[in-house]
A = this chain, B = another copy of it.
Amino acid sequence: MVTSLTTLPIIQQGLDTVEKMMLSQAEDYHPDLKAALSVILSSGGKRIRPTIILLIGSLLDAKFDLLIPLATSIELLHTATLIHDDLIDGSILRRGVPTLNAKWSPAATVLTGDFVFASAANMATRTNSLEVMDLFSRTLMTIVNGEVNQLFTSRCSININDYYQRIYAKTASLFETSTHAAAIISKVDEYHTELLRKFGYELGMAFQIVDDILDYVGDQTTVGKPVGGDLRQGLITLPMIYYIESNPHNSLIQTIIEGKTIHDETEIQQLVEMVAASDAMTRAQQEAENFIGRARECLLELADSPERDSLLEITQYIVSRKK
C-alpha cells in the first residue's frame, strides 16, 4: 500500500523493515490491538517521515540499526497522534479509509492510541540516544499542547502568527524532530545538526500549508476526505486568512471575523468555492514554496549524492502533490 517517495533500493528496503517493525508491535499483545494496528497501518500513508529519516541517515553514514528504530518510532508516534486526533475531531474517514474511531468504541480508540504511543517510546529507546528520547517526548508535549490550544483557543482565530504556531505544533515539530534526530544519530557536527533541524522545520511548515490548501481545492476521491473540513471545524487556515485580507466586507467573512463558527453547509460550500477561486490560493501556494525554497537551501549545503537528489525531489513533491 505504501507508495515509495524514493527509488533508492537501500531506502526502499529500510522502509519495508520499518513497516514490518511497526506491524510487529502488537504481536505479543491482545488480538484486538493487533487487528487495530494492522487496520491503521494498512490504510497506507506515504511514510514521508521515515523516508526522510532514512535518506538523511544514509547520506550521513548513520548506522541502520539505529536509524530503522528511529524511523519506526517517529512513524508510530505520528500514527498514535492521528488515532487520538480522529477521535477528538470525530473524523470518520482518513486517506479514504474509515478511521478506527468510526469502527470502534471511543474507549478502544483511546487505548489503541495509548498503546501505539507506548510502542513508539519503546522503539525510540532503541536509538540508544537519551537526546533523541528527550526530543521525542518534548515533541509529543508540543503536539498535544497544540491540540489543546486548537480545542480551547484557536477556533476562528484569523491571526497569521497563531496560524504558524498551530501548524508548527501540528506538523512541523515532528518533521523537525525527524531530521534533527536523524542528524543526532548520525553524529555529525553541530553546524550540520542545526542545518538538518532547520530543513525539517521548513519542510514541515510547507507540508502543512499544502495540506491546508488541499482542504480547499483537493479532489475528495484523491485526498480521501471532503473539502472544507477545516472551516467546518471552525479552523481558519492560510488560504482563508489571505482571502479575509482581500475581502473583509463580505457578510460571511464578517461572521468569521466576529469569531463565530459557520454551521450552515451551503454557506460553507459557498465560502470554500469563493476562497478556492480567489488569488488567496496562489498566495498560500507561494508561501509554501518560500518554505520549500529555504528547505532546499539547507539541502544544497550537503554533499551531492543520490540521497540528496531524492530529498530534493521530495521537497518538490511536497509543494506539487494533489493529496
Contacts and interface: CB of A to CB of B under 8 A. Distances in A.
Contacts of A117: 114, 117, 140
A121 interface: yes
Interface in A9-62: 29-30, 32-33
A88 B115 contact: no
Interface residues of A, number: 41
B106 A106 contact: yes
A291 interface: no
A137 interface: yes
B121 A136 contact: yes
Interface string A126-149: 001010011011101100110111
A144 B88 contact: no
A152 interface: yes
A61 B32 CA distance: 44
A140 B118 contact: yes
A186 to B, nearest CB: 19
Contacts of A137: 118-119, 121-122, 124-125
Contact of A30 (B105, B140, B149): B149
A140 B115 CA distance: 7
A4 interface: no
A87 interface: yes
A151 interface: yes
B134 A110 contact: no
Interface of A: 29-30, 32-33, 84, 87-88, 105-108, 110-115, 117-119, 121-122, 124-125, 128, 130, 133-134, 136-138, 140-141, 144-145, 147-149, 151-153
17 contacts: A30-B149, A33-B148, A84-B111, A106-B106, A108-B148, A108-B152, A113-B114, A114-B140, A118-B141, A119-B137, A119-B141, A121-B140, A122-B137, A125-B134, A125-B137, A128-B130, A130-B130
